[in-house]
């Protein structure tokens, strides 16, 4: 019995010494909210479908071209333009529309399709940096134009969603 008591005493002491505590630090940082504002709406300008229609493309750089029988006319046209403001030098993700958007004639309900969204030669998903907390971004697309019967004279409009988020 004399041998067992010292042995149990040593085991009990080792158990108490095997446990330790440490005080640690937790941190968090609140950053400026990411904000986006439309500077200019996507505008394909004035045109005539002529006999069979075709497509009109407006690039992010503001170049407009057509194919098919679409005849481009005067007037204003431009890519969409957005101003992003947020945390200085933060990297953001940009997600363009994943599908087409429909433009609807204001009085007849006839439609045209906007697709092939593009941003600085990147399609669908891109990243950019908010240099000094700001970025101006231009976005282009292609408009599918039908015949005059499909797309009568008048104004067409529609909406689309672009998602901006911090990485």
Domain CATH code at residue 72? 2.60.40
Residues of the chain with pLDDT > 70, as a percent, come to 87
pLDDT of residue 87: 95
Mean pLDDT, the chain, as a whole number?
90
Tell me whether residue 70 is in a domain: yes
- The pTM for the full model equals 0.81
Dist. CA 86–CA 1, nearest whole Å: 75
Beta bridge partners of 80: 139
Tell me whether residue 128 is in a domain: yes
Domain that holds residue 150: 34-166
Tell me whether residue 5 is in a domain: no
The domain tally of the chain equals 1
Tell me whether residue 24 is in a domain: no
Tell me whether residue 95 is in a domain: yes
Mean pLDDT of 65-93: 95
Mean pLDDT of 57-86: 96
pLDDT tens, residue by residue, 112-140: 999 999 998 565 568 899 999 999 999 99
If DSSP states are collapsed to H, E and C, what string results for the chain? CCCHHHHHHHHHHHHHHCCCCCCCCCCCCCCCCCEEEEEECCECCCEECCCCCEEEEECCCCCEEEEECCEECCCCCECEEEEEECCCCCEEEEECCCCCEEEEECCCCCEEEEEEEEECCECCEEEEECECCEEEEEEEEEEEECCCCCCCCCCEECCCCCEEEEC
pLDDT of residue 31: 85
pLDDT at 98 over 60: yes
pLDDT of residue 29: 87
Sole residue written with tokens 């907390």: 133
């Amino acid at each position: 019995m004399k041998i067992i008591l010292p042995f149990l005493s040593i085991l009990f002491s080792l158990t108490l010494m095997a446990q330790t505590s440490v005080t640690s630090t937790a941190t968090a940082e609140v950053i400026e909210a990411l904000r986006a504002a439309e500077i200019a709406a996507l505008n394909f300008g004035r045109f005539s479908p002529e006999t069979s229609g075709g497509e009109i493309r407006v690039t992010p750089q503001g170049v407009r071209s057509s194919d098919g029988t679409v005849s481009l006319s005067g007037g204003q046209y431009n890519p969409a333009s957005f101003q992003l403001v947020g945390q200085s030098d933060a990297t953001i993700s940009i997600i363009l529309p994943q599908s087409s958007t429909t433009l609807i004639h204001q009085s007849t309900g006839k439609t045209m399709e906007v697709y092939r969204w593009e941003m600085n030669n990147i399609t669908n998903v891109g990243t950019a940096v908010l240099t000094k907390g700001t970025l101006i971004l231009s976005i282009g697309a292609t408009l599918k134009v039908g015949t005059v019967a499909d797309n009568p004279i008048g104004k067409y409009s529609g909406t689309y969603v672009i998602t901006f988020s911090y990485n």
